[in-house]
Structure 1
Amino acid sequence: MSHLPDHQVDALVKRINRIEGQIGGIKKMIIAEKPYDEIIIQLNSTRSAMQNISKLLLEAQADHSLLNVADGGSLDKEMEKLQKVIKQYNRMN
């Protein structure tokens, strides 16, 4: 991910850390036998947070591909990379 500026990497790591906290909270809820609807709410929140990270990475790949092509990179190669990321993104959503 060297194509992401450091501040973007830091922001993504912070998001991942929050998700880890959410997962830990969900685990505690299950152990404490909290109501299933409350657990599912937290699971949905975590899934949404993960989808947002996925979206940011898809956007970063698109930006990266466009910049590479503008700098003389291979359009075919960059399209292949972008299509691969889009396929993975669609599998998550």
Structure 2
Amino acid sequence: MKKDKQKTLDRLARLEGQVRGIARMVEEDRYCVDVLAQTAAVRSALKGVERMLLENHARHCVEDAIASGGAEEQRKKFNELIALLQKAQT
């Protein structure tokens, strides 16, 4: 995570700005379709952050568990990965 930390924080800061923009749009009674278009954009951007974090987990945490040779640690990380994938689909 350390390598991609700033990239992740930058994306989250952009998302935070987008959400504030949506709140402003609602306060200003903007057209519903325009607000919904922005919420869809936020949802898409958040999914991008989730993908990046999931990939990072697989590349580092899961990979380290595999390299360790410890069956219990491998099983734990594998189960974490499966649980994350299931949550990402809902």
* Superposition TM-score tier, normalisation by shorter sequence: 0.7 to 0.9
Residues 1:41 and 2:24 are matched in the alignment: no
**Deviation of the 1:87 alpha carbon:** 1.6
Give distance in 2, aligned partners of 1:88 and 1:10. Answer: 25
Per the alignment, residue 84 of structure 1 pairs with 83
Residues 1:12 and 2:14 are matched in the alignment: no
Give distance in 2, aligned partners of 1:55 and 1:90. Answer: 11
Structure 1 runs not aligned, ≥5 long = none
From 53, 67, 78, the counterpart of 1:70: 67
**Deviation of the 1:46 alpha carbon:** 0.4
Structure 2 runs not aligned, ≥5 long = none
User: Given the two structures, how large is their TM-score scaled by the length of structure 1?
Assistant: 0.84
Count of residue correspondences: 87
> What amino acid sits opposite 1:27 in the alignment?
A
Give distance in 2, aligned partners of 1:90 and 1:61. Answer: 17
Q: Secondary structure at the match of 2:89?
A: helix
Identity of aligned residues (%): 24
Per the alignment, residue 46 of structure 2 pairs with 50
**Root-mean-square deviation (CA), in Å?**
1.3
**Deviation of the 1:76 alpha carbon:** 1.4
From 21, 24, 30, the counterpart of 2:20: 24
